[in-house]
Chain A
Amino acid sequence: MSDYNVLVGGAAGQGVETLAGLLEKAFHRHGLWVFGVRDYMSRIRGGHNFAQVRVADRPLHGPRRRLDAIIALNEETVRLHRDRLAENGRILADAGLGVTDPALLALPLERTARELGDPRVVGSLALGAVAASFGLDRAIIEEILAERFAGETLAINVKALHASGEWATRHFPLPLPPRPTRDRILVTGAEALGLGVLAAGCTFGAWYPMTPATPLMTFLADRQAEAGMVVEQAEDEIAAINMALGAAYAGARALCATSGGGFSLMVEGLSLAGMTETPVVIVLMQRPGPATGFPTRTEQGDLAFALTAGHGEFPRLVTALRTPDDAFRQAARAFNLAEKYQLPAILLGDQFLTDYVQSMPPLDFGSLVIERQLLAPAEVGPDGDYLRYDLTESGISPRLLPGKAPGQVVMLCSDEHTPRGNITEAADVRAAMVDKRMRKHSMLRQEVEEPEFLGEDGPVLFVAWGSTGGPLREAVETLNAGGRRAGALVFGDLWPLPTGRLREKAPGKLLVNVEQNHSGQLARLVRQETGIVCDRSLLKYDGRPFTADEIVAWAREEVL
């Protein structure tokens, strides 16, 4: 199995993102499976950023530590990452950086860029050299450049690409010949989630900018006119969620997205959604806290918060996004469930999932359905007495949109209310309304999806949730291939917690929770809901995502 890992590093503004993006697309168009991660080291003086582009002849699900090539746009990149370079690895860097290293392929990047008359083409020169060392077809790269640039910018970048084409000989043989058919996509978690939100027919999004929720909302904002939606940047997250609730009340499918700090501000609105039975989808993209924490990095620290956020008791759906493909599907499902049960649905993602880019089969728009479950205006009489909070057996009251049925008004109320929606202080009405709302929780419990099972039944069972499932999948595959029997349950739905598969798989096994937090929040939830106790924990809270290598190494050392 062939598997290459290329790091592109440099200072902010040197074009790391552009170069890595072009390289990823080139490998992807060649027909390889790409997995790319971004790392913004904002705390190092000078602002060192890097991207890691991993490619293989099979689908990839996580980053890898060991590097095969380093494309260094500055000397610091070599210094910071040299220790991870494989034995026959290569460093591609400008000859003038002063790097002395036996692995160095010194390139005349700066000089040639000056000769070409544009210092900004350093990236395309480097790309040409990298393409040559991997034997990538330059025609594919030209095509990609033409999709991103035009006019003189395109011309000079194409020129640069060819100028550097002979600087390197093929050093890394690619495992597959170029693939003529274009039947896979290359998307980030944010993009796949955004496509799911658009497919779900979301017509209103409100947000206040906060990393790492920003890529999702800018994706939607850029497409709002074409998609026929409104994406409004609110004055704060409090306004954002209250706007979303007003929009949902009026008939939109409404979304908010934020990270932990912003979600803290949304919590009162979350409770309002619970009390008023207003459907809303809230994307909570986690980053390390508390407070401002690590703004550009990843963590799974807000599970317990999402489960209990909001004063009072009310039903909610909490679902973790495991992969970009899963995010696409879960977005559509969350809007359906939010409207079916008239409650808030929280989608838990994180910086890792948002920013990583992955090759995958196309997203299946045809498999999605939109189920709004609205009461048609014709179903209520012209002068009837519509009851927004009618006490039904299921707990779900028929939902009419305001303004659509002459003679009918729709009363939404944050106080405890009568079936019509008027303020009440009656003890019996209160108890009946609490029961009604919580009946929806019981129904939702029947509808949640069991965790995905990976690997083989064996003495060890890992349990994980959300994006950790990607690296864990590779780890379990590696362990199984090496004759170590182990499996994993990766939870998507977390509240109500599905417990069937866990109860079936757990007995007699050593249970290990793998989570990106300090306290093992999934293990706590599992114990609370099932009494099942995890025996060991693999926890990581340094802001960097798991790699399969480190899970495998830990497992071999500690439990297998």
Chain B
Amino acid sequence: MTSPRRFDTRDERTWCPGCGNHVLLACLKETLHRLDRQPHEVLICSGIGQAAKLPHYLKANCFNGLHGRALPPACAAKIVNPALTVIVSTGDGDSYGEGGNHFLHAIRRNVDIAHFVHDNGVYGLTKGQASPTMDLGRPTPGQAGGVRSEALNPLALAISQDAGFVARGFTGEREHLVELMKAAIEYRGYALLDILQPCPVYNKVNTLQWYKERVRPLGGEHDPADRLTAFARSLEWGDEGIPIGVIYRKDKPTFADRLSHLAANAALVDKVLDPRAARVFMDPFF
């Protein structure tokens, strides 16, 4: 099939009407279509949460693991079989809360994967508690007096650690989002794409309209190779405008590039295994 429909499944979606995930899913299918991928060539990894259900609604390989733990298996699967297009598609709580440590180290490790974070500021699956990107002071179930911790800025954090591809998308800007997804997948190395999406049920402040009035696509004047400017842009938020697009970009060696024996030999998945081949390692012990 030569349309995005080759990635369709018959499964009933359990997301609410108006949820940004519907758009995000459609954009991902369109992206994979434009990249000419077939379902068996793609692996989607996710954790737990509303966003993490995405791979069940798209025909591709799927590792739907534990909450917060989508990045480690994604990295490992790519190391073992580099022919797979590996995408982590999961939520803000998953990526920045429960899995925060893996996020930091995925940047350092720089495996060639794309990380799409569905960022709506709330935990939808557990009915509306704040995610790490929720603004300070906002009352939520579980934080009735308002969120007491400051919001995490994932883009600034990623740029501070010199992640090679740092971008922000918005489900209200579909074509723009598809191009960002495409660029993130095509980037060689760890690519972070934080995707703003409304949660019409649990986030009554950051609505589709709220975002539409504030997002500002980065224009040609922005140089994504300029790290300090990129960092400054990553700090912009709220009424002053929210930049979307590729904020920072830098080419650097990937995990596989740094391991010469990985590049020189067959992929680990295709290695022929023979116990006798290991006998040579016993020689020094006689």
Interface residues, chain A, CB within 8 Å of chain B?
A: 147, 182-187, 191, 194-195, 198-201, 203-204, 206, 223-230, 232, 234-236, 238-240, 242-247, 249-254, 268-269, 272, 276, 332, 362-363, 365-366, 368-370, 372, 401-415, 421-423
Chain B residues positioned under 8 Å from A242 (CB to CB): 65-66, 69, 72-73, 76
Apart from A194-B281, A195-B278, 16 more pairs, CB < 8 Å: A185-B285, A195-B281, A201-B274, A201-B275, A204-B80, A243-B75, A244-B76, A246-B73, A246-B75, A250-B77, A269-B69, A404-B40, A407-B39, A409-B61, A414-B64, A422-B11
A249 to B84, CA, bound (A): 12
Chain B residues positioned under 8 Å from A228 (CB to CB): 261, 265, 268, 271
Sorted from nearest, which 6 A-B pairs have the closest CB atoms? A246-B73, A201-B273, A246-B76, A251-B269, A242-B72, A402-B61
Q: B29 at interface (Cβ–Cβ under 8 A)?
A: no
Q: A204-B76, A401-B269 are in contact. Are A199 and B61 (CB under 8 A)?
A: no
A421 to B282, CA, bound (A): 42
Q: B60 at interface (Cβ–Cβ under 8 A)?
A: yes
B116-136 CB mask vs A (1 if < 8 Å, else 0) is: 000000000000000000000
Q: B260 at interface (Cβ–Cβ under 8 A)?
A: yes
B242-273 CB mask vs A (1 if < 8 Å, else 0) is: 00000000000000000111100100110101
Q: A195-B281, A269-B69, A409-B39 are in contact. Are A239 and B81 (CB under 8 A)?
A: no
Q: B56 at interface (Cβ–Cβ under 8 A)?
A: yes
A186 to B40, CA, bound (A): 48
Chain B residues positioned under 8 Å from A362 (CB to CB): 282, 286
A201 to B76, CA, bound (A): 17
Please state if B84 and A246 are interface contacts (CB–CB under 8 Å): no
Q: B204 at interface (Cβ–Cβ under 8 A)?
A: no
A250 to B268, CA, bound (A): 9
Give the shortest distance, in Å, between A265 (CB) and chain B (any CB).
Answer: 11
**A194: nearest residue on chain B (CB-CB)?**
B281
Pick from A183, A186, A369, A411 the residue with the most CB of B within 10 Å: A411
Interface residues, chain B, CB within 8 Å of chain A?
A: 11, 38-41, 43, 45, 48, 53, 55-56, 59-66, 69, 71-81, 83-84, 101-102, 104-105, 259-262, 265, 268-269, 271, 273-276, 278-279, 281-282, 284-286
Please state if A235 and B286 are interface contacts (CB–CB under 8 Å): no
A306 to B84, CA, bound (A): 34
Chain B residues positioned under 8 Å from A421 (CB to CB): 62
Q: A185-B286, A401-B269 are in contact. Are A246 and B40 (CB under 8 A)?
A: no
A223 to B41, CA, bound (A): 31
Chain A residues positioned under 8 Å from B101 (CB to CB): 235-236, 238-239
Give the shortest distance, in Å, between B71 (CB) and chain A (any CB).
Answer: 8
Could you jot down 8 A-B contacts, CB within 8 Å? A183-B286, A203-B80, A234-B72, A240-B72, A272-B65, A272-B69, A403-B84, A404-B40
Please state if A199 and B62 are interface contacts (CB–CB under 8 Å): no
Pick from B60, B69, B72, B81 the residue with the most CB of A within 10 Å: B72
Please state if B271 and A246 are interface contacts (CB–CB under 8 Å): no
Please state if B276 and A366 are interface contacts (CB–CB under 8 Å): yes
**B284: nearest residue on chain A (CB-CB)?**
A147
**B48: nearest residue on chain A (CB-CB)?**
A414
A206 to B75, CA, bound (A): 12
Chain B residues positioned under 8 Å from A253 (CB to CB): 273
Please state if B282 and A246 are interface contacts (CB–CB under 8 Å): no
Q: Which of B269, B282, B285 contacts A250 (CB 8 A)?
A: B269
Please state if B69 and A403 are interface contacts (CB–CB under 8 Å): no
Please state if B80 and A195 are interface contacts (CB–CB under 8 Å): no
**A244: nearest residue on chain B (CB-CB)?**
B76
Q: Which of A223, A238, A243 contacts B281 (CB 8 A)?
A: A223
Please state if A411 and B81 are interface contacts (CB–CB under 8 Å): no
Chain B residues positioned under 8 Å from A249 (CB to CB): 63, 73, 77
Please state if B102 and A251 are interface contacts (CB–CB under 8 Å): no
Chain A residues positioned under 8 Å from B64 (CB to CB): 411-415, 423
Q: A182-B286, A250-B269 are in contact. Are A230 and B79 (CB under 8 A)?
A: yes
Q: Which of A185, A187, A203, A423 contacts B53 (CB 8 A)?
A: A423
Q: Which of A195, A232, A409 contacts B60 (CB 8 A)?
A: A409
Chain B residues positioned under 8 Å from A369 (CB to CB): 275
Q: A198-B281, A403-B83 are in contact. Are A365 and B276 (CB under 8 A)?
A: yes
Please state if A245 and B281 are interface contacts (CB–CB under 8 Å): no
Please state if A268 and B72 are interface contacts (CB–CB under 8 Å): no
Q: A370-B273, A405-B40 are in contact. Are A187 and B73 (CB under 8 A)?
A: no
A246 to B69, CA, bound (A): 10
Please state if B76 and A408 are interface contacts (CB–CB under 8 Å): no
Please state if A235 and B105 are interface contacts (CB–CB under 8 Å): yes
A366 to B53, CA, bound (A): 46
Chain B residues positioned under 8 Å from A254 (CB to CB): 76
Please state if B62 and A409 are interface contacts (CB–CB under 8 Å): yes
Please state if B285 and A191 are interface contacts (CB–CB under 8 Å): yes
Pick from A225, A227, A403, A405 the residue with the most CB of B within 10 Å: A403
**A405: nearest residue on chain B (CB-CB)?**
B40
Give the shortest distance, in Å, between B59 (CB) and chain A (any CB).
Answer: 6
Give the shortest distance, in Å, between A153 (CB) and chain B (any CB).
Answer: 19
**B78: nearest residue on chain A (CB-CB)?**
A250
**A225: nearest residue on chain B (CB-CB)?**
B261
**B57: nearest residue on chain A (CB-CB)?**
A422
A413 to B46, CA, bound (A): 10
A365 to B279, CA, bound (A): 6
Q: A187-B285, A234-B72, A410-B61 are in contact. Are A229 and B268 (CB under 8 A)?
A: yes
Chain A residues positioned under 8 Å from B83 (CB to CB): 403
A423 to B78, CA, bound (A): 24
Give the shortest distance, in Å, between A161 (CB) and chain B (any CB).
Answer: 21
Q: Which of B40, B65, B275, B279 contacts A409 (CB 8 A)?
A: B40
Chain A residues positioned under 8 Å from B268 (CB to CB): 203-204, 228-230, 247, 251-252
Please state if B84 and A402 are interface contacts (CB–CB under 8 Å): yes
Give the shortest distance, in Å, between B257 (CB) and chain A (any CB).
Answer: 13
Q: Which of B76, B269, B274 contacts A370 (CB 8 A)?
A: B274
**A328: nearest residue on chain B (CB-CB)?**
B282
Chain B residues positioned under 8 Å from A410 (CB to CB): 61-62
**B65: nearest residue on chain A (CB-CB)?**
A414
Pick from B43, B53, B84, B281 the residue with the most CB of A within 10 Å: B281
Chain A residues positioned under 8 Å from B281 (CB to CB): 194-195, 198, 223, 226-227
Pick from B53, B69, B80, B276 the residue with the most CB of A within 10 Å: B80
Please state if B40 and A185 are interface contacts (CB–CB under 8 Å): no
Chain A residues positioned under 8 Å from B102 (CB to CB): 235, 238-239
Q: Which of B38, B260, B275 contacts A225 (CB 8 A)?
A: B260
Chain A residues positioned under 8 Å from B72 (CB to CB): 206, 234, 238-240, 242-243, 246
Give the shortest distance, in Å, between B200 (CB) and chain A (any CB).
Answer: 22
Please state if A412 and B65 are interface contacts (CB–CB under 8 Å): yes
Pick from B53, B59, B62, B84 the residue with the most CB of A within 10 Å: B62
Give the shortest distance, in Å, between A227 (CB) and chain B (any CB).
Answer: 7
Chain B residues positioned under 8 Å from A372 (CB to CB): 273
A252 to B273, CA, bound (A): 10
**B61: nearest residue on chain A (CB-CB)?**
A402
Please state if B73 and A422 are interface contacts (CB–CB under 8 Å): no
Q: A242-B69, A247-B80 are in contact. Are A234 and B61 (CB under 8 A)?
A: no
Q: A229-B268, A252-B269 are in contact. Are A412 and B278 (CB under 8 A)?
A: no
A230 to B64, CA, bound (A): 23
Chain B residues positioned under 8 Å from A268 (CB to CB): 66
A251 to B269, CA, bound (A): 5
A467 to B80, CA, bound (A): 34
